[in-house]
């Protein structure tokens, strides 16, 4: 969690519960305006995806047939 996120959480916790709901709705609207379909990756998600792709490219993967579905 970044410093900004931690600070934001601390500030939200200072608000009365009714105001916390309003702030949460505002954050949700900001996120939806930034990514209405929730398809963008956060920097952490991008890093994890790239690491997984590297493992797959190097042959570290499990075949579907090896999984007991």
Domain residue ranges of the chain, discontinuous segments joined by +: 3-60
Element (H or E) spanning 2, and its range?
none
pLDDT tens, position by position, 15-43 = 999 999 999 999 999 989 988 888 888 88
Beta strands, E only, 16-57: none
pLDDT tens, position by position, 41-64 = 888 899 988 988 888 888 887 778
CA dist., res. 60 & res. 51, Å (int): 11
| Positive or negative: CA dihedral 28, 34, 36, 41 | negative
Q: Whole-structure pTM over 0.85, yes or no? A: no
Whole-number Cα distances in Å, 42 to 3, 32, 55 = 16, 14, 20
């Amino acid at each position: 969690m970044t410093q900004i996120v931690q600070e934001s959480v601390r500030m939200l916790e200072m608000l009365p519960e009714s105001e916390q709901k309003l702030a949460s709705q505002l954050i949700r609207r900001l996120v939806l305006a930034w990514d209405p379909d929730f398809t963008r990756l956060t920097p952490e998600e991008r890093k994890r995806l790239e690491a997984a792709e590297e493992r797959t490219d190097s042959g570290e993967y499990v075949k579907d047939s090896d999984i007991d579905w």
